[in-house]
């Protein structure tokens, strides 16, 4: 069978063969083309989302200052930012989005893709092995305290930090990577995943919807 625009490799770990298929295909409204990777039966983007418009073409509000982030928080308005409001951080880590952007009916993900649910995140973690899944999704460079991962599944997780929900301050770049799910947890929270530079776990917690986290997409 002829396979175009794919790089296939088999990786053996914990008694399981992991088939990783990587290449480029998802394209956002901004024109950016995203790397993708197949992990088990799922196909993920292997870089963080970096769009400033919804799938509909509508512009997403950019909150550059703490006051603008607070305004979006108070209004329950979809918003994004770069870490420290520096575009150079976006080139490496993508954008940080509040959950109102994640959940907007205009569509944050490119056509044919969506924001992963809590259950889809669970399937990824279970496939990789709960105890050290974080090591397998972390990139091989960029993590503080010698906390780099093996990236053996091709996810290439990076420590993009987050923006605090209330006052708009930025925290934990280099130490932690946070990613939203599309699943609510009570009225003010939604589930997210976090990986840090200190251990190999992928944490699962409810986060305030007004917080700014990174976003990965999964294929429909």
Report the C-alpha gap between 157 and 190 in whole angstroms.
20
How high is the pLDDT of residue 186? 87
Report the C-alpha gap between 107 and 3 in whole angstroms.
30
33 within domain boundaries: no
How high is the pLDDT of residue 166? 85
How high is the pLDDT of residue 5? 35
Q: Where are the beta strands (DSSP E) in 167-219?
A: 170-171, 176-185, 189-196, 203-208, 218-219
Nearest alpha-carbon partner for 212 in 128, 131, 93: 93
Threshold 0.75, pTM exceeds: yes
140 within domain boundaries: yes
Report the C-alpha gap between 65 and 78 in whole angstroms.
15
178 within domain boundaries: yes
For residue 166, give its domain range.
48-219
Three-state secondary structure of 66-95: HHHHHHHHHHCCCEEECHHHCHHHHHHHCC
User: Which CA distances in Å does 60 have to 96, 184, 192?
Assistant: 12, 21, 21
Nearest alpha-carbon partner for 30 in 10, 2, 9, 58: 58
Nearest alpha-carbon partner for 218 in 23, 79, 66, 43: 43
- Edge to edge, what strands does the sheet with 61-62 contain? 61-62, 79-81, 96-97
The number of distinct structural domains making up the chain is 1
198 within domain boundaries: yes
How high is the pLDDT of residue 151? 97
How high is the pLDDT of residue 28? 59
Report the C-alpha gap between 214 and 95 in whole angstroms.
6
According to DSSP, the β-strands at 16-27 and 113-114 are: unpaired
Q: What is the pLDDT along the chain (220 residues), one digit of tens a residue?
A: 333 333 333 333 333 334 444 444 555 556 567 899 999 999 999 999 999 999 999 999 999 999 999 999 999 999 999 999 999 999 999 999 999 999 999 999 999 999 999 999 999 999 999 889 999 999 999 999 999 999 999 999 999 999 999 889 999 999 999 999 999 998 999 999 999 999 999 999 999 999 999 999 999 9
38 within domain boundaries: no
């Amino acid at each position: 069978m002829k396979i175009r625009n794919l790089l296939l490799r088999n990786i053996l770990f914990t008694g399981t063969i992991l088939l990783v298929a990587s290449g480029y295909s998802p394209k956002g409204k901004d024109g950016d083309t995203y790397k993708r990777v197949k992990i088990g039966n799922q196909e993920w983007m292997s870089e963080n989302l970096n769009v400033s418009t919804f799938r509909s073409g509508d512009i997403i509000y950019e909150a550059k200052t703490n006051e603008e982030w607070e305004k979006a928080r108070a209004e329950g308005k979809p918003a994004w930012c770069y870490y420290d409001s520096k575009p150079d951080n976006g080139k490496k880590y993508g954008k940080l989005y509040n959950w109102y952007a994640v959940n907007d009916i205009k569509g944050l993900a490119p056509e044919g893709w969506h924001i992963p649910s809590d259950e889809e995140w669970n399937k990824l973690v279970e496939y990789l092995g709960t105890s050290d899944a974080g090591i397998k999704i972390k990139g091989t460079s960029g993590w503080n305290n010698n906390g780099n991962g093996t990236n053996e599944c091709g996810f290439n997780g990076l420590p993009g930090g987050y923006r605090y929900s209330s006052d708009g301050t930025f925290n934990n770049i280099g130490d932690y990577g946070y990613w939203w799910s599309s699943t609510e947890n009570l009225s003010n929270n939604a589930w997210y995943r976090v990986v840090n530079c200190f251990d190999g776990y992928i944490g699962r917690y409810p986060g305030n919807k007004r917080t700014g986290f990174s976003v990965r997409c999964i294929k429909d």
